[in-house]
């Protein structure tokens, strides 16, 4: 083992890996290859601490252990490392790809992470190049999100749905391309309203020839690709040609088209720049949070912006970047700024799943190795321009301004949410020194006359709603419409296994790995009845009754008059109409209600889709159908019932019950 590694094992707190583990780790570091790869650090609980890439694995990983980092955050991270894993790859581009896939999958604490699973929307021009005479012969422009197909043309991506809709409106105003569905197109007998307001040329009823429509479509495509001036010149030359042939109606149409296009170019500031497709990236950091604003320019047109807010910023900023240390013959590079680290994390993660243009304009410098790896992955040369000039500088200044505004908005919202959390903790005498860990779970029941009963559980944690942790529960085997029984069932299903794990931990003195945690508060949407049912469940499971709070509607069910009902016998509490604590409770309760009712409606729609089978049975009218659905909780319940059970429903004879049973089987 190299002496430089042996002498630098950090002093470890009692809850961190022991010295022997560190010695084993250092021996493993010394045996690493000098090849490109990806490394992962784990703590003693097997949680992922950090994921990094390296051109030279041995040099890079050794750099973490070659000096004592003291009490810095990186020192704390190195002290927590209990083991590591490495993967050797063939190139830096492969390392970049693997690294960022692992970051998004493993969510390591010390990596800056950008979460955005939404795909970008496109403007779609369908059926280009197909034969005329049908809808396919007159390509349609539409909004599109998803995988692309070769038989269609796509333009974008656009930063938002609004930007796509603006582009479609432009296609209607200037080029009068159709936006209707093919089924509508094929069944029109007269022009629609869009033709009357000069937003469509009505190819559906033959008001424009296929060749003229193809010319408009080609001009639209050239415009979207950035050839606006060439399109303008082509329209003007065609207009003059019609005028010389005394075809004044056609010349007037082209004149109107030229005027509309000129107006668009003036309003949207379409710039005749050399690089038509550019992404502008600006980063702002303040108050422990960061914002990366992405502005998109496509075809020389500024399409709009989209903000991104990374997580793990504070923990990650003091961890060294994953660029290899310079070789001895290289010139030493300066320490990258906080903004550069965040920007590089965004570029490396974002463009793994999104198309990247050939030009990037950035507010802070990006490491050349990263750009080289992205170029290798994309298959063409990518340039990143820092400190741009002329039009690029204007774009960057706009992006920086938007990044500052978006970050200020986020900090204001988070400050308001944290104030609400603190107000609720103070009102309920909860510890206020660990508000970041405050976890609240709220339950609600939703159904329609007993049909398609659903229970929802929503989670509030880290001062915000955690939609990834929401759960819906389908409630079965209860009397339709019995909300108390539904609440009992969902609480047993939610906390039954957790209660068993906690009891086993008390007996053995050790909590099993992977066991969840009880929330700090359990809210139920309801008053004394629902709270009493929740109390019974918690007593049965041996859980703390003080966790349960019911949200009881006030007089006249008016918003702001809600009272809190406690399961442990405390008196009701009215927080006040303008209380920040009540605002938080109402926010969580309303989210639980929304989540429950959307699930119930989806389930009800699914059930009623098959409900027509009952109406098709002779002798089953609306009243008998309603009784059957209420009695058995839906069509599936009726289908699972025997003929004898069906005959017990009021108004259903033995003969009709046999008919229903045979029809559903």
CATH number at residue 632: 1.10.150.20
Residue 403 has pLDDT above 60, yes or no: yes
Residue 236 has pLDDT above 80, yes or no: no
CA–CA distance, 50 with 62 (Å, rounded to integer): 15
- Tell me whether residue 330 is in a domain: no
456 and 399 fall within a common domain: no
Tokens found for residue 130: 């197909």
Is the pLDDT higher at 183 or at 538?
538
- Tell me whether residue 524 is in a domain: yes
316: part of which helix (H) or strand (E)? helix 313-316
403 and 458 fall within a common domain: no
Is the pLDDT higher at 417 or at 236?
417
At residue 620 the predicted structure's pLDDT band, cuts being 50, 70 and 90, is confident
Mean pLDDT confidence for 132-150: 76
- Tell me whether residue 422 is in a domain: no
pLDDT (0 to 100) of residue 15: 46
DSSP string of 366-407, one letter each residue? --HHHHHHHHHHHTS--EEEES--HHHHHHHHHHHHHHHHHH
290 and 374 fall within a common domain: yes
- Tell me whether residue 217 is in a domain: yes
User: Which CATH number is 94's domain given?
Assistant: 3.40.1440.10
Is the pLDDT higher at 130 or at 190?
190
pLDDT (0 to 100) of residue 273: 55
Contacts of 642 (CB under 8 A, 6+ apart): 661
CA–CA distance, 144 with 649 (Å, rounded to integer): 49
Residue 364 has pLDDT above 60, yes or no: yes
Residue 19 has pLDDT above 80, yes or no: no
Closest to 557 in 3D by CA, of 601, 527, 583: 527
- Tell me whether residue 155 is in a domain: yes
User: Which CATH number is 587's domain given?
Assistant: 3.30.420.340
Q: Which of 239, 267, 295 is the last residue of a domain?
A: 267
Q: Where are the beta strands (DSSP E) in 514-609?
A: 521-525, 548-552, 563-566
pLDDT (0 to 100) of residue 363: 92
pLDDT (0 to 100) of residue 135: 65
554-568 pLDDT, tens per residue? 776 677 788 899 998
The percent of residues above 90 in pLDDT, for the chain, comes to 13
Task: With both helix axes pointing from N to C terminus, report the angle between 654-664 and 580-615 in degrees, rounded to the nearest 10.
Answer: 100
Residue 154 has pLDDT above 50, yes or no: yes
CA–CA distance, 630 with 128 (Å, rounded to integer): 52
- Tell me whether residue 421 is in a domain: no
147 and 197 fall within a common domain: yes
Closest to 280 in 3D by CA, of 368, 389, 167, 397: 397
At residue 5 the predicted structure's pLDDT band, cuts being 50, 70 and 90, is very low
62 and 194 fall within a common domain: no
450 and 546 fall within a common domain: yes
Mean pLDDT confidence for 61-72: 70
Closest to 319 in 3D by CA, of 111, 502, 538: 111
- Tell me whether residue 427 is in a domain: no
Range of the domain at 649: 616-664
- pTM of the shown model: 0.64
DSSP string of 476-489, one letter each residue? -SS-TT-HHHHHHH
81: number of Cβ within 10 Å: 21
pLDDT (0 to 100) of residue 360: 92
Is the pLDDT higher at 557 or at 208?
208
- Tell me whether residue 465 is in a domain: yes
Residue 156 has pLDDT above 60, yes or no: yes
35 and 98 fall within a common domain: yes
Place of tokens 């668009």: 264
CA–CA distance, 477 with 641 (Å, rounded to integer): 12
At residue 89 the predicted structure's pLDDT band, cuts being 50, 70 and 90, is confident
Q: Which of 552, 578, 602 is the last residue of a domain?
A: 602
CA–CA distance, 55 with 95 (Å, rounded to integer): 8
Sign of CA dihedral 488, 490, 495, 496: positive
347 and 449 fall within a common domain: no
Is the pLDDT higher at 323 or at 72?
72
**Cα angle value 188/191/192 (rounded, 5°):** 90
Mean pLDDT confidence for 474-483: 85
Count of domains observed in the chain: 5
């Amino acid at each position: 083992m190299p002496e430089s590694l042996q002498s630098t094992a950090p002093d470890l707190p009692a809850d961190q890996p022991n010295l022997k583990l560190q010695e084993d780790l250092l021996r493993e570091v010394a045996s690493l290859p000098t090849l490109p790869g990806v490394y992962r650090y784990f703590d003693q609980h097997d949680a992922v601490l950090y994921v990094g890439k390296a051109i030279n694995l041995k040099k890079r990983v050794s750099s973490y252990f070659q000096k004592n980092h003291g009490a810095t955050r990186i020192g704390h991270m190195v002290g927590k490392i209990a083991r590591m894993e490495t993967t050797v790859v063939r190139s830096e581009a492969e390392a970049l790809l693997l690294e960022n896939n692992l970051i998004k999958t493993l969510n390591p604490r010390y990596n800056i992470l950008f979460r955005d699973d939404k795909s970008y929307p496109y403007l779609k021009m369908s059926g280009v190049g197909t034969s005329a005479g049908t809808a396919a012969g007159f390509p349609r422009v539409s909004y599109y999100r998803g995988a692309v197909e070769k038989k269609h043309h796509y333009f974008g991506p656009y930063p938002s749905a609004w930007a796509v809709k603006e582009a479609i409106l432009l296609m209607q105003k200037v080029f009068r391309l159709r936006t209707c569905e093919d089924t509508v197109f094929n069944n029109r007998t007269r022009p629609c309203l869009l033709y009357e307001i000069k937003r469509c040329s009505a190819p559906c009823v033959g008001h424009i020839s296929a060749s003229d429509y193809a010319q408009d479509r080609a001009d639209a495509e050239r415009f979207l690709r950035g050839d606006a001036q060439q399109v303008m010149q082509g329209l003007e030359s065609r207009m003059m040609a019609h005028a010389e042939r005394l075809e004044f109606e056609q010349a007037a149409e082209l004149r109107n088209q030229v005027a509309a296009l000129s107006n668009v170019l003036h309003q949207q500031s379409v710039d005749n720049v050399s690089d038509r497709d550019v992404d502008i990236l600006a980063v702002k950091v303040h108050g422990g949070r960061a914002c990366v604003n992405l502005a998109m320019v496509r075809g020389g047109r500024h399409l709009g912006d989209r903000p991104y807010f990374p997580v793990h910023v504070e923990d990650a900023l003091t961890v060294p970047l994953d660029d290899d240390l310079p070789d001895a013959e290289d010139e030493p590079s300066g320490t990258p700024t906080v903004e550069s680290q965040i920007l590089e994390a965004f570029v490396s993660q974002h463009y793994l799943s999104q198309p990247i243009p050939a030009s990037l304009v950035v507010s802070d410098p990006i490491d050349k190795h990263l750009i080289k790896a992205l170029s290798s992955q994309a298959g063409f040369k990518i340039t990143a321009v820092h400190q741009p000039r002329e039009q690029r500088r204007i774009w960057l200044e706009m992006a920086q301004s938007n990044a500052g505004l978006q970050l200020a908005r986020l900090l204001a919202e988070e400050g308001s949410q944290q104030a609400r959390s603190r107000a609720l903790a103070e009102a309920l005498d909860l510890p206020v020194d660990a508000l970041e860990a405050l976890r609240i779970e709220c339950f609600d029941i939703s159904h329609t006359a007993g049909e398609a009963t659903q229970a929802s559980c929503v989670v509030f944690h880290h001062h915000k709603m955690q939609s990834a942790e929401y759960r819906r529960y389908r409630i079965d085997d209860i009397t339709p419409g019995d909300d108390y029984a539904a609440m009992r069932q969902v609480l047993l299903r939610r906390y039954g296994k957790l209660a068993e794990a906690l009891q086993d931990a008390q007996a053995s003195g050790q909590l099993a790995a992977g066991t969840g945690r009880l929330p700090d508060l359990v809210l139920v949407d309801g008053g004394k009845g629902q709270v009493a049912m929740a109390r019974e469940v918690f007593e049965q499971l041996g859980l703390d009754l003080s966790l349960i709070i019911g949200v009881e509607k006030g007089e006249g069910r008016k918003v702001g008059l809600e009272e809190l009902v406690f399961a442990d016998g405390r008196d009701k509490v009215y927080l006040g109409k303008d209380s920040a604590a009540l605002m938080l409770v109402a926010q969580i309760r309303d989210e639980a209600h929304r989540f429950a009712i959307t699930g119930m409606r989806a389930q009800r729609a699914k059930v009623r889709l098959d409900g027509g089978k009952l109406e098709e049975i002779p002798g089953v009218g609306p009243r008998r159908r309603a009784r059957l659905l209420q009695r058995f909780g839906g069509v599936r319940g009726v289908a699972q019932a025997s003929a004898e059970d069906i005959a017990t429903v009021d108004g259903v004879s033995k003969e009709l019950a046999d008919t229903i049973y045979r029809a559903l089987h």
